[in-house]
A and B are shown apart, each in its own frame.
Chain A
């Protein structure tokens, strides 16, 4: 692979599109440098260099055979689930929702980590958000709430130009690479986030200082916000996932809403995986709902309450994991003999950045593998035909 660029890197949800890629003797070099991005391109390279096109239960088969077996599994499924989407493109997600609609599947875009399904806070009160450029050019205080973007989104601070006259506040009791760079460090435990966020709302409303050992930290944070016309809060699954995640996210949105009187404050959500935002946007426009949708009744139904997945008998994982960036894996998960069908795919198409900005995702190098969208579309056609 000769030097290639600028191209879009899907190593994380930042989807940096200013990247130049160059082969080296021991891997791939990215400019600007980014370990996560280099690993993503290297995985793409490995995938294109000799991985089988498809397997069934680990045995190499041709793609047509794998597709036929996958379609057979889908046709026989009583309760199929479409999941994954860690590296999905818009085109992949469009094909996936079409398939879910046709076979009456459950679909989850994996927007939230932790127990499935989880309920988002956005529909309760809304939120204030912005694209990266808005935050970069206006926010004078950037608060990172219990995330470590230096590790998970390595170029975030660079792209937001968090340095100099811009203050970085980190809320985290862990020693992280991001926390090391903080101008102000607030170190309470995760179990106290809801208390902290609601106390900040009290402070914002001028109702006095809440009692307790967080008072000094919270006052300091509020003073930072009060001193600037623009600020941003970066958060992610560490706040929103798991038990109480919805309440914590709601408390953050309420706080930011209150702060927006007299100043301009926005939030930026770090996604669990790069493809989640794309998949969730498509699911929302095609079904009307984001997150987790059930098509079993013949129309979309939003799934908000925790529901056991015991009855799911076939799971179709689309671009499932950072360690296996290019595949569709489909198999039975219920009791009885499992079948695992795996089809290698090559990502290409349109992707939505963590802030919603759409970008082209070019093939990093020539690859004969189909896209997930191609495979899903063929699966849809095959699943519709009785054998």
Chain B
């Protein structure tokens, strides 16, 4: 029985309305408890800041897309080796670290839970295998459903057919989660990836028909968003909207939000979807409109997808975007089409402060953070590694907490772009520690439906990060004094003290087993994998897992 008393720290636990109160946090057997015995290990946290372990709601850390990026970019990691030790495996870092390095470095940063945000269900075994090799953190993955030809068929059948056929879509989604071990449902450019694979086409309106399937992006959004809502999955439908990166795409984003009106939804990397202007022209910011809409619709949340100046690795199921970057940049490009389900594009990239578009993207991200009134609604992400590595989170936190630093950085960016944002309009907000705790752990955990994470109330998972309370917030958040995972000290003063596996987080919803009868012939017509072999049943891949029941 391991007992720890974290004593005398300033606790920031916004989920429990604790805002810097000096109090003890007690841990026993992997959980937060109200008290521990006199023999408990005492961690003297006086003068330090205590928060729940970080929760990353949107990152790309595992699966065929991520692994292809590793193979594509050996030069990115050559100068960033990680030596093996008695307790650690070796690896390499860079923008797309090896699996072990990914787990270690998230842990060193104070993060204890990470969501892989875009996994092809067909590749679930691959994703699970990589996640098994990603230590230290609990992890989940979202399955890509927005361009699934089988679901398109079911959605078309369900239109106008009433409850039974609509229930078929719902059952199919629950079946897919059961078959893969996925945690939630991701829609990427719904309908648009299929169009790209058909003829390099794009979605210009949510009412464009996906040729050959008789459905539109709007119908896909309504059917799958509605089904996820009705199933009561712990995490609502997670949306990468159509027209990512296209000037004027704020119209599409708002249209998508209105389409899902009244339903719970999470919008990914909304910075990339907040542009004014016209396609082919220069973008401008429409972040204020997006933030205003969010403020009026508490059922919608978002993560920002902040871009950070410097190198990045763009990787997306939205392969059309990668083709655009390929032609813009002329550098490396990897494309992979996955039958029935999705696409994939990878392009190494760099965001430059002097570039108008890049500076505008940087500014829009900060606008979204700073204009938002409710930090529970707008969460921190860089869409790792698309906008920059997760290792840049401490710098991003400093940008939010330190106005002088932010203004200094603004001064180094393309001024034409900065002038086209609200950043120069007296936007002097500085995030508090409690607000940082909200956007980096409490809100993501709540939105993911992880009731035992993101807070320090009795019964919570004993995932705790303790920071020196430094004026330099970047340094503070880059090097936690302690990271405690499952009630054991994993990191001390920037050094990993132990290795742990972490668990897989999955969700489960009930479904009519008869849905298999409907799916099997559709699979046979489309997949090159036997229906019997599609579901992942191997305990070595599926366990240990923490399964969150729908509707719980």
A interface with B by C-beta (< 8 Å): 6, 8, 17-18, 90-91, 94, 98, 101-102, 120, 122-134, 136-138, 159, 229, 257, 260, 262-264, 266, 281-282, 284-290, 295, 297-302, 350, 352, 356-360
* Least CB distance, A227 to chain B, in whole angstroms: 14
Choose one: A18, A299, A356; the contact of B91 (CB below 8 Å): A299
Which residues of chain B from 38 to 64 have any CB-CB distance to chain A below 8 Å in the complex? 62, 64
Not counting A130-B339, A290-B70, A350-B538, a sample of 9 additional A-B residue pairs whose C-beta atoms are within 8 angstroms of each other reads A123-B71, A126-B333, A128-B336, A131-B339, A264-B199, A288-B70, A288-B93, A356-B64, A357-B123
**Interface assignment of B36: CB less than 8 Å from any CB of chain A:** no
Q: Would you mind naming 17 contact pairs between A and B with Cβ atoms under 8 Å apart?
A: A6-B533, A17-B530, A123-B332, A128-B334, A128-B336, A131-B339, A133-B527, A136-B528, A284-B71, A285-B67, A285-B70, A285-B99, A286-B133, A288-B93, A288-B101, A299-B84, A356-B126
- Evaluate contact between B532 and A6: CB separation under 8 angstroms: yes
**Interface assignment of B264: CB less than 8 Å from any CB of chain A:** no
- Evaluate contact between A281 and B89: CB separation under 8 angstroms: no
Q: Fill in one digit per residue for B516-552: 1 if any A CB lies within 8 Å of its CB, else 0.
A: 0000000000111110110000101100000000000
Can you list the 3 inter-chain pairs with the closest CB atoms, starting with the nearest?
A: A133-B339, A288-B92, A358-B125
Which residues of chain B from 167 to 198 have any CB-CB distance to chain A below 8 Å in the complex? 197-198
| Bound CA span A297–B323, Å | 38
Which residues of B lie under 8 Å from residue A282 when comparing CB positions?
129
Which residues of A lie under 8 Å from residue B62 when comparing CB positions?
285
**Interface assignment of B367: CB less than 8 Å from any CB of chain A:** no
**Interface assignment of B411: CB less than 8 Å from any CB of chain A:** no
**Interface assignment of B346: CB less than 8 Å from any CB of chain A:** yes
Chain A residue nearest in CB terms to B531: A6
* Least CB distance, B502 to chain A, in whole angstroms: 16
Which residues of B lie under 8 Å from residue A123 when comparing CB positions?
71-75, 332
| Bound CA span A138–B72, Å | 26
* Least CB distance, B536 to chain A, in whole angstroms: 8
Given the known interface contacts A287-B90, A299-B92, A302-B74, the answer about A134 and B97 at a Cβ–Cβ threshold of 8 Å is no
Which residues of A lie under 8 Å from residue B200 when comparing CB positions?
260, 262-264
Chain A residue nearest in CB terms to B77: A288
Which residues of B lie under 8 Å from residue A136 when comparing CB positions?
339, 528
Which residues of chain B from 406 to 452 have any CB-CB distance to chain A below 8 Å in the complex? none
Q: Mostly helix, strand, loop or mixed at chain A's interface?
A: mixed
Choose one: B198, B526, B540; the contact of A91 (CB below 8 Å): B540
| Bound CA span A133–B538, Å | 24
Chain B residue nearest in CB terms to A134: B337
Chain B residue nearest in CB terms to A19: B530
Which residues of B lie under 8 Å from residue A6 when comparing CB positions?
530, 532-533
Chain B residue nearest in CB terms to A104: B84
* Least CB distance, A354 to chain B, in whole angstroms: 11
B interface with A by C-beta (< 8 Å): 62, 64, 66-67, 70-75, 77-78, 81-84, 89-94, 96-101, 122-126, 129-130, 133, 197-200, 323, 326, 332-340, 346, 526-530, 532-533, 538, 540-541
Choose one: A133, A285, A298, A358; the contact of B98 (CB below 8 Å): A285
Which residues of A lie under 8 Å from residue B335 when comparing CB positions?
126-129, 260, 266
Which residues of B lie under 8 Å from residue A288 when comparing CB positions?
70, 74, 77, 91-94, 96-98, 101
* Least CB distance, A37 to chain B, in whole angstroms: 15
Chain B residue nearest in CB terms to A280: B71
Choose one: A264, A301, A356; the contact of B197 (CB below 8 Å): A264
Which residues of B lie under 8 Å from residue A301 when comparing CB positions?
81
* Least CB distance, B397 to chain A, in whole angstroms: 27
- Evaluate contact between A281 and B338: CB separation under 8 angstroms: no
Choose one: B91, B125, B133, B336; the contact of A300 (CB below 8 Å): B91
- Evaluate contact between A285 and B530: CB separation under 8 angstroms: no
| Bound CA span A263–B122, Å | 25
| Bound CA span A125–B82, Å | 26
Chain A residue nearest in CB terms to B101: A288
- Evaluate contact between A300 and B90: CB separation under 8 angstroms: yes
Which residues of A lie under 8 Å from residue B75 when comparing CB positions?
123
Chain A residue nearest in CB terms to B130: A285
* Least CB distance, B319 to chain A, in whole angstroms: 10
Choose one: A128, A137, A287, A298; the contact of B92 (CB below 8 Å): A287
Which residues of A lie under 8 Å from residue B82 when comparing CB positions?
299
Choose one: A17, A129, A358, A360; the contact of B336 (CB below 8 Å): A129
* Least CB distance, A240 to chain B, in whole angstroms: 14
Which residues of B lie under 8 Å from residue A98 when comparing CB positions?
89
Given the known interface contacts A300-B91, A302-B78, the answer about A357 and B529 at a Cβ–Cβ threshold of 8 Å is yes
| Bound CA span A98–B99, Å | 13
- Evaluate contact between B334 and A357: CB separation under 8 angstroms: no
* Chain B CB within 10 A, most for which of A123, A263, A302: A123
Choose one: A18, A120, A350; the contact of B129 (CB below 8 Å): A350
Choose one: B100, B122, B323; the contact of A286 (CB below 8 Å): B100
Which residues of A lie under 8 Å from residue B93 when comparing CB positions?
288
Chain B residue nearest in CB terms to A266: B337
Which residues of A lie under 8 Å from residue B125 when comparing CB positions?
90, 350, 358-360
Given the known interface contacts A137-B339, A287-B90, A290-B71, the answer about A8 and B533 at a Cβ–Cβ threshold of 8 Å is yes
| Bound CA span A45–B70, Å | 38
Given the known interface contacts A126-B346, A127-B334, A350-B129, the answer about A286 and B83 at a Cβ–Cβ threshold of 8 Å is no
| Bound CA span A275–B552, Å | 43
Which residues of B lie under 8 Å from residue A260 when comparing CB positions?
200, 323, 335
| Bound CA span A159–B96, Å | 34
